[in-house]
Amino acid sequence: MAHSRIHIIATGGTIAGEADPASGGVRYTAGVRSVDTLIAAVPGLAEVADISAEQILALDSKDITPADWLLILTCARSSLADPAIDGLVILHGTDTMEETAYFLHLSLPAGKPVVLTGAMRPADHPQADGPANLLAAVRLAADDTAQDKGVLVVMNQTPHAARWLGKARTTGLEAFESSRPWHDARPDGRFHEVDVSALPRVNILPGYAGAPAELIDACVAAGARGLVLALTGHGSVPAAWLPALRRAKEDGVAILRASRCAGPVIHNANADDDAQGWLTAGDLPPPKARIALMLALAGNGSGDTLHAHLPEL
């Protein structure tokens, strides 16, 4: 049987990291090694698939910006449009992997497998996890069962769906958790036709005891077109925030209630969302709700028709 052709896009991360000798191995720098070096460290790879690769970024993923998401999206869209390429693997830092994965989940077309992977240990660690994760990601991207699942992630050699995974721990190989099994995943791609040449600014505002309302006005003054409120409990809006939220709404800023707890935040259940003109996140965590809101705003430009795009994200 002919081999699948899997294209690898590298963006940096610990999978390409090297320890900082001055720190006695405690600290490391992400995104040092090239994609070719990472591929050469996995001898069995060529037996699984024909591999091509490109290095588009070399970042610690804490520094990835929406402009970088757009670069990754452009490269991913053009690779997936190539009939010779059967699937895509994206190497990425673990800190914001769930954000890039969900952004691509909403903005890439359904069909060919797209699998993100990374590592919790740098490439020069004696028990580096990157090579096994890269091999597992290429295997999954070459596997028919990964088709029409939307964007997937492999960490600790375990697949996850972009919609449901999150980084749950700062250290350890089992850093990622999912609320549902990846087999249940469905493609989304509802924004795959949107020309996202620029993403509007959407800020996340954390709710906590005594959280100040001034940050709302500051975000609007800085140009935010949307605000995701990462609120306490069931998405409970502090009374002290109401005047500033009203001002923001009058300025045309979309307001979305989310929770810092695991969801759901149910529309009209804990606030008069329709009367206020607020959106709700369901069970999407705030960083993913922000991505959905950015894409919805990029797609139609108006806060008022967002409900057509956001339900059941």
188 half-sphere exposure, CB direction, 13 A CA radius: 24
How many residues interact with ligand SIN (rule CB under 6 A)? 12
Q: Which of residues 117-176 bind ligand SIN (CB under 6 A)?
A: 118, 120
Q: Which parts of the chain are beta strand (E)?
A: 4-12, 18-19, 28-29, 49-59, 87-91, 114-117, 151-155, 158-161, 165-167, 176-178, 202-206, 226-231, 254-259, 279-280
Q: Taking each helix axis from N to C terminus, what angle separates 286-300 and 97-107, rounded to the nearest 10 degrees?
A: 30
With contact defined as beta carbons under 8 Å apart, do 201 and 225 qualify? yes
Q: Does 11 bind ligand SIN (CB under 6 A)?
A: no
Q: Which of 4, 7, 13, 265 binds ligand SIN (CB under 6 A)?
A: 13
**Identity of the residue, 127 or 197, whose beta carbon is nearer to ligand SIN in the bound complex:** 127
Q: Which stretch binds ligand SIN (CB under 6 A): 7-15, 205-213, 237-245, 286-294?
A: 7-15
Q: Which of 68, 95, 98, 188 binds ligand SIN (CB under 6 A)?
A: 95
Rounded to a whole number of angstroms, the minimum distance from the CB of residue 31 to ligand SIN is: 7
Rounded to a whole number of angstroms, the minimum distance from the CB of residue 136 to ligand SIN is: 16
Candidate list 14, 94, 100, 280, residue with the active-site label = 14
**Identity of the residue, 30 or 51, whose beta carbon is nearer to ligand SIN in the bound complex:** 30
Extract the tokens encoding 227: 């605000």
Q: Cα separation of 123 and 119, whole Å?
A: 8
Q: Which stretch binds ligand SIN (CB under 6 A): 11-19, 192-200, 226-234, 272-280?
A: 11-19
Between the CA of residue 276 and those of 4, 72, 231, 247, 304, what are the distances in Å? 52, 36, 16, 11, 11
Q: Cα separation of 250 and 276, whole Å?
A: 11
Q: What is the DSSP string of 193-216?
A: TS--SS---EEEEE--TT--THHH
Q: Which of residues 44-73 bind ligand SIN (CB under 6 A)?
A: 60-62
**Identity of the residue, 13 or 235, whose beta carbon is nearer to ligand SIN in the bound complex:** 13
Rounded to a whole number of angstroms, the minimum distance from the CB of residue 94 to ligand SIN is: 3
Task: Specify whether 171 is catalytic.
Answer: no
Chain residues binding ligand SIN by CB under 6 A are 12-14, 30, 60-62, 93-95, 118, 120
